[in-house]
Structure 1
Amino acid sequence: MKNTLKIVTVTMMVFTLLSCQDKRKPNYQYMPNMYESVGYETYGEYNVFENDQEAKLPVEGSVPRGWMPYDFENSNKGYQTAKDSLKNPIAYTEENLAEGKALYDIYCAVCHGAKGDGQGILVQREKILGVPAYNDAGRAITEGSIYHVMYYGINSMGSYASQTSIEERWQIVAYVEKLKAELDGKAPRVDKLDESDAPSDMIPAVNADPEVAVAEEAEETTNE
């Protein structure tokens, strides 16, 4: 009898709880902090953080995801070093040249012109002057100098490091070299890839110190 009474009592309690539920409203939250997180305003001051500051500096030595450090400094020496030694790590394929053209038309053609002759729309309207053609003998641009200028900017040209990714800048470099070759009356470079070649989006890290690069290559060979 006692067991029956207990069963009936428990059953009635369960039915009572179920009957009080309203599916149109959320149920009771026994641990609301598990469902409703505390939101902190950016740059706000809260005593749960060190120095009551919500915004923290990145860990020393850390870099953003997908970003690689650029080892050439923003100086005449850095420019010359990049011009002499920095090489384009991506293949000069039709696909990369097409991507480079699309990016060039967005960022560069307005000043440098669709043909790279320095006759962009802003030059034609005399909004900006003194933009040389890519085959200007006095500049003698290389793939390294093109990338360096895009990364840091030069004279009245600003940096495009924040608008473009590493691969996009190298694709623009490839297309600029294509325009330079056409201005010189030469056939543009086009690479033919084998199946064993790495994809074009695999951008290796570039080291400004040739001796370090040689040492790293020798170490890899030894490990093999």
Structure 2
Amino acid sequence: MKSLFKIALLFGLAVSVTSCFNSKSPNYQFFPNMYESVGYETYAESEAFNGENQLKGQTAQEPPVGSVKRGFEIYDYENSTAGYELAKANLVSPLDSISDKEAAKGKELYGIYCAICHGDSGNGKGKLVEREKFLGVPSYADRPVTQGSVFHVITYGLNSMGSHANQLSQHERWLVTDYVLQLKSKL
């Protein structure tokens, strides 16, 4: 009798557990927001911009103070004449040796970003200078440049030359610096 009761209890439990199962819709959702997400309109009002941000007229949230974007490498010299002189005197390339492939990459980057003004040989006679769009582009032979000064000028720009820090990574700027110094030695 006890075994018949156990069998009936087990059968009743199995029926009650499987009777609520529906394969077309799950019974319980652990994270309902993942299954049924809220669709936001692109330019709709948002609760994220209430308070101080809305009073300032901001349309997006700002990153936290002190945050640094991924892959960014800190450059310790300031954008001033004193920073330029300090970089010129103290800054040296962290690249121990440059392979032929990296040297070719430096030459390619120089051709893309620098040769249009400074010329293919670094003599200051690029296409824009020949067409008198920019005047006074220096030749590398006329200036006492060092690794640090070239890198600093590529990073921050100088006079009418703009910064190339957004277009070139720090490693690429060092490759261009190495190529500029090769051109200077040939002039």
Distance, in Å, in 2 between the alignment partners of 1:28 and 1:35 is 15
1:191 alignment counterpart: none
Paired letter, 1:85: N
Q: Given the two structures, how large is their TM-score scaled by the length of structure 1?
A: 0.63
Deviation string 1:122-173 (CA, Å, 9 cap, x unpaired) is 223332222122112xx22211111111111111111111222211111110
1:63-102 pair list within 5 angstroms: 63-93=68-98, 94-102=100-108
The alignment-based identity, stated in percent, is: 43
Per-residue deviation at 1:178? 1.0
Q: Given the two structures, how large is their TM-score scaled by the length of structure 2?
A: 0.74
Match 1:11 to one of 5, 14, 38: 14
Match 2:109 to one of 94, 103, 108: 103
Distance, in Å, in 1 between the alignment partners of 2:144 and 2:169 is 25
**Residues 160 and 38 of structure 1: CA distance in aligned 2, closer, same or farther (over 3 Å):** farther
Distance, in Å, in 1 between the alignment partners of 2:140 and 2:185 is 9
Paired letter, 1:156: S
Match 2:147 to one of 143, 146, 152: 143
1:45-194 pair list within 5 angstroms: 45-46=47-48, 55-60=61-66, 62-93=67-98, 94-136=100-142, 139-183=143-187
Distance, in Å, in 2 between the alignment partners of 1:114 and 1:28 is 71
Per-residue deviation at 1:46? 3.0
Per-residue deviation at 1:52? 7.2
Say how many residue pairs are matched.
Answer: 175
Distance, in Å, in 1 between the alignment partners of 2:47 and 2:122 is 51
Query: Alpha carbon RMSD of aligned pairs, Å?
Result: 3.3
Please list every run of 5 or more consecutive structure 1 residues that lacks an aligned counterpart in the other structure.
Answer: 184-224
Q: Which has the higher contact order (CA 8 A, sep 6+)?
A: 1
**Residues 104 and 27 of structure 1: CA distance in aligned 2, closer, same or farther (over 3 Å):** farther
Deviation string 1:11-51 (CA, Å, 9 cap, x unpaired) is 33444445x313xxx63443335735779989x5439x996
Deviation string 1:41-64 (CA, Å, 9 cap, x unpaired) is 89x5439x996787344344x533
Per-residue deviation at 1:85? 2.0
2:57 alignment counterpart: none
- For the 8 Å contact 1:92–1:174, the answer to whether it is kept is no
